[in-house]
C-alpha cells in the first residue's frame, strides 16, 4: 500500500512556490490556499499558471494536491447566505 505524507505549504509569491516548498520538505501530498483565506473575493490565476503548476508538479514528486477552502465558510449557520 502506497503511503502519502503531506502538509500545508506556503504558496507565497505564487502557486508554483508551494511545489518548491513541498520538495524541500520531502512530501508527496500538499494542501494550499489558492487565494487569501480571509476574503470572500478571489481573482483568477494569471494566464499560464495552471500549465506551469502541472508541469512543475510532475517534476516535484507531489502526487496529491488539496486546495484549502476559505476560513469564512460557516456550514453551521442556519442562514444559507452566511
Q: Cα 6 vs. chain centroid, distance in angstroms? A: 12
For the cut 90, the answer to whether the pLDDT of residue 26 exceeds it is: yes
The rounded distance, in Å, linking the Cα atoms of 31 and 48 is: 21
* pLDDT per residue as tens digits for the range 11-24: 999 999 999 999 99
* pLDDT per residue as tens digits for the range 55-65: 999 889 999 99
pLDDT for residue 27: 95
Give, in order, the Cα–Cα distances in Å from 46 to each of 14, 15, 49, 52.
10, 10, 6, 11
Mean pLDDT of the chain: 90
pLDDT for residue 52: 95
| C-alpha cell at position 74 | 460557516
pLDDT for residue 20: 94
Amino acid at each position: 500500500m502506497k503511503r502519502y505524507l503531506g502538509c500545508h505549504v506556503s504558496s507565497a509569491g505564487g502557486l508554483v512556490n508551494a511545489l518548491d516548498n513541498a520538495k524541500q520538505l520531502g512530501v508527496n501530498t500538499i494542501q494550499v490556499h489558492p487565494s487569501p483565506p480571509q476574503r470572500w473575493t478571489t481573482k483568477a490565476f494569471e494566464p499560464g499558471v495552471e500549465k506551469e503548476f502541472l508541469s512543475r508538479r510532475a517534476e516535484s514528486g507531489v502526487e496529491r494536491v488539496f486546495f484549502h477552502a476559505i476560513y469564512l465558510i460557516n456550514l453551521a449557520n442556519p442562514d444559507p447566505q452566511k
